[in-house]
Structure 1
């Protein structure tokens, strides 16, 4: 349905507007909300436009996912999933099946979702083990957070990595095992993504957007290019922005400010990796990992480097986002932002930290004082939080309970924008809301209304678009998500089970369940 004029009535609208938090109908004209109200006031518009009888359904602002790797997620729709593997035998079994199937990546077999912590061998497979199944074409396995790659011998030879490159895992004889971490992983990913065609990218995005739309998402922040990915991803997204069915806000993951200015982009950064990840034990900590004595993770930038980059970005009026997971990296970024605030006290540039998983109290207070937006991923707690899961294994019981401190941040006045980090976790805002409300550490759980804000108005604030998105109000875009139940009422542990019945982008119906139909103009 391409008409951007639409009337929705007989519903319960959670507007997030301070003036009127609820409504029963909304009239959208030319993509923007023209009127909103209660009772039968909508009838004066009924003869003009197509209409939807919501039959009592709940409507919230269209969801905003503040952290998506769009091209990686798209390509992964064409990949083989290893998330269920609990042993190397499981991996080889999946590969055996995959090699007989037609791959949409050409001759490459790409596998995703592998979690080392789940493998009973407590290690990644070697290239020789992968060779037992596939010898004559590339096998490339990505860990769930993309910070580790494993390739077979064919793939390792194709990569032709420098012999002394850091991150190449070796056996006792000094021979590379095919497991690549840190800088070796960055370079391997860049090479393998570089030989991926744009036709393959287009095939993946077409599949992915169907999933995004049926999740009720109307805006995503696309983190593209850079160390862990490929600049072709960013260029592809930039070239095709006008073709995408929802709003895609591009964050170019580069430190090249001049290039971003030349492309006339407003934003720079995203996953500019100041540190790594907990899964790969490369997130920068103040104290060693609980399961790797002596290892406090890795900082990929020096303080001067990151501060100079921040200064140059803000001097050029760019919004900036940086990846910092552990307290060591968070400190580096906040020091850079603090210096920039002193140099440019009246800047309108939005400063963000992506992930912010293990801050200390001083860092939470400083981030709030500086007005830094914290782009966080609640679903991390769903997959990795709680007893005997990844956070506790890597960090120990005490620090494992301090991850993703949503309640503490909000209590200190901080603004959290919710995201998925797709394809690390799925694009599913309702799962994110559910997880934030049911945080494994109950002291960090937040209310359903606060959790809803993470994926609506706070996501808009993180983009500087809070005057046109994130609320259901006059003058705002007609970006709406129709739900089967009210997420603010009932059993909070069932929020993730709520169904998305419809997605509307600027008055255009992108998805509508068969339970709700569009009526012809004048029928209401």
Structure 2
């Protein structure tokens, strides 16, 4: 017995194979017909699109769902612009919490402050009324913590990255992060995960790639999230980032043993491993967390268990180490077998032609976040202050990578940057470095079909006969051009991060025929 069929008619479809199509029929989770309204077959139900645009739904290729959900309901510090504003925000938020609660906040980014001085642990104690405080920097690779939280983690003083000021990095950050999040109950975690996946669906995102691992979350958090996948919310494809953990990743239900398997840290925390010293802070080249031999052995472990692998690598030195490991694995397995696995590198922010060539050689999927350039690229912003102008222009080279055939999968790294798929497409189209700009069509493909291909689902992410009925319905206040929304102002001078062009608004998201979001529904 088949499920009721639904005809969507009267729209504009992003369907390159049939650009005249205005309607599609959904039956048993698949697209059973598409064409013009006049030729539409009879269906059990009919939805009038009223001229709305229908596109394949988005895939966000790098998220942290629990953190995203907690950030949606917690203390958002992305708008603070000084130490005083941060302390004021902590005080207001903490006042509404029980005395034994932990204040969890996220999103501060001192690189955009006029005076980048940060409050110390004692000041956070005073602002929070003695409560434990954990405030992750935008990169989530460092955090400000209160004296009360430091006191609750006496072992942290001997961990790499500890600083008595309360700004912790590296291993010290992992210690206090685990302690802070231990205060979150299982029920709170489930609620946060559902909130994150529901929010994704409301933005036209039908699937996300969760990047978990022992340094990011715990196994219960990871498996609990996977259990929610597609249950009235976006689907979840999990990556478990544990070195040599391919067998464990498979046991946990992951599609890959990678994601946030850290080869280095982050530029915001000056822990990304770069080839030349940082120009600000205490200098140094950041930190590489893996050797080429460890990378090689992890890829061999993935091959032994039939798993996709991958690494978090941001700085050019870290990416170089990862590629050296790939070369070692290719000598053992053969390049063709390495390529067939479609291993991933997350972020790939500081690249050059040699590194891009390595991605091509080994068939590496680049899981990238266009919003990073929007927020931190360009003159006077974080990349330039950390690296200098010339090196900053090499950051996030999406256009160059696309141009030579590197497979791209776009995402947000939420809550590092917000879930914002059309904003990410626009950021890739209007990259701060003009040589790295992409067409709307190419950027959209990276954020839709690219995400599906990254998890080896090559037939998804298109509106085509027989394809899964996974799509989003949009109102497009700025209009439509050749099947995709207009995202940039006509006036070239108005374009960029503050482009005034209104972005599309999601009206409905459909996942394999089921509506997982509808505007106005509870």
Structure 1 and Structure 2 fold alike (TM over 0.5): yes
Q: 1:272 to 1:221 in 2, by over 3 A?
A: same
Q: Secondary structure at the match of 1:440?
A: coil
State whether structure 2 residue 73 is matched by structure 1 residue 111: no
TM superposition shift of 1:49: 2.0
Deviations 1:372-414 (A, max 9, x none): 1100000111111112111111111111122111111111111
Unaligned runs of 5+ in 1: 170-175, 518-524
Q: 1:129 to 1:489 in 2, by over 3 A?
A: closer
* Map of 1:461 onto structure 2: 453
Q: Is the 8 A contact 2:430 2:437 kept in 1?
A: yes
* Map of 2:138 onto structure 1: 144
TM-score if structure 1 supplies the norm length?
0.90
Q: Secondary structure at the match of 1:161?
A: helix
Deviations 1:46-79 (A, max 9, x none): xx32121112211110111111111211222231
Give, in whole Å, the separation in 1 of the partners of 2:254 and 2:283: 42
CA RMSD of aligned residues (A): 2.1
Give, in whole Å, the separation in 2 of the partners of 1:20 and 1:324: 40
Deviations 1:218-274 (A, max 9, x none): 011011232243343213223444646221101112222232233353311111110
Give, in whole Å, the separation in 1 of the partners of 2:430 and 2:124: 40
Q: Is the 8 A contact 1:186 1:229 kept in 2?
A: no
Q: Is the 8 A contact 2:448 2:461 kept in 1?
A: yes
* Map of 1:427 onto structure 2: 419
Q: Secondary structure at the match of 1:7?
A: strand
Q: Is the 8 A contact 1:269 1:321 kept in 2?
A: yes
Q: 1:76 to 1:293 in 2, by over 3 A?
A: closer
Give, in whole Å, the separation in 1 of the partners of 2:397 and 2:19: 27
* Map of 1:199 onto structure 2: 187
Q: Secondary structure at the match of 1:227?
A: coil
* Map of 1:219 onto structure 2: 207
Per mean C-alpha deviation after superposition, the further-off stretch among 353-362 and 92-101 is: 92-101
Give, in whole Å, the separation in 2 of the partners of 1:131 and 1:106: 13
Alignment of 1:155-174 (within 5 A): 155-169=149-163
* Map of 2:118 onto structure 1: 124
* Map of 1:179 onto structure 2: 167
TM-score if structure 2 supplies the norm length?
0.91
Q: Is the 8 A contact 2:59 2:206 kept in 1?
A: yes
Q: Which residue, out of 8, 12, 31, partners 2:29?
A: 31
Q: 1:161 to 1:495 in 2, by over 3 A?
A: farther
Q: Is the 8 A contact 1:13 1:24 kept in 2?
A: yes
* Map of 1:492 onto structure 2: 488
Give, in whole Å, the separation in 2 of the partners of 1:203 and 1:513: 21
Give, in whole Å, the separation in 2 of the partners of 1:4 and 1:401: 53
Q: Is the 8 A contact 2:7 2:26 kept in 1?
A: yes
Per mean C-alpha deviation after superposition, the further-off stretch among 115-124 and 53-62 is: 115-124
* Map of 1:350 onto structure 2: 342
Deviations 1:122-177 (A, max 9, x none): 233211111222243211111111111121111111122243211111xxxxxx22
* Map of 1:284 onto structure 2: 273
State whether structure 2 residue 434 is matched by structure 1 residue 442: yes
Per mean C-alpha deviation after superposition, the further-off stretch among 54-63 and 133-142 is: 133-142
Q: Is the 8 A contact 1:314 1:340 kept in 2?
A: no
Q: Secondary structure at the match of 2:258?
A: strand
Give, in whole Å, the separation in 2 of the partners of 1:309 and 1:491: 41
State whether structure 2 residue 333 is matched by structure 1 residue 338: no
Q: Secondary structure at the match of 1:420?
A: coil
Give, in whole Å, the separation in 2 of the partners of 1:13 and 1:424: 32
TM superposition shift of 1:121: 3.8
Q: Secondary structure at the match of 1:320?
A: strand
State whether structure 2 residue 91 is matched by structure 1 residue 99: no
Aligned residues: 500
State whether structure 2 residue 426 is matched by structure 1 residue 401: no
Deviations 1:397-433 (A, max 9, x none): 1111221111111111111111000001111110001
| Greater RCO (Cα-Cα under 8 Å, separation 6 or more) | 1
Q: Secondary structure at the match of 1:271?
A: coil
Give, in whole Å, the separation in 2 of the partners of 1:82 and 1:262: 37
Q: Secondary structure at the match of 2:215?
A: coil
Q: Which residue, out of 48, 61, 64, partners 1:66?
A: 61
Deviations 1:332-387 (A, max 9, x none): 11222233233223534220110011111011112012111100000111111112
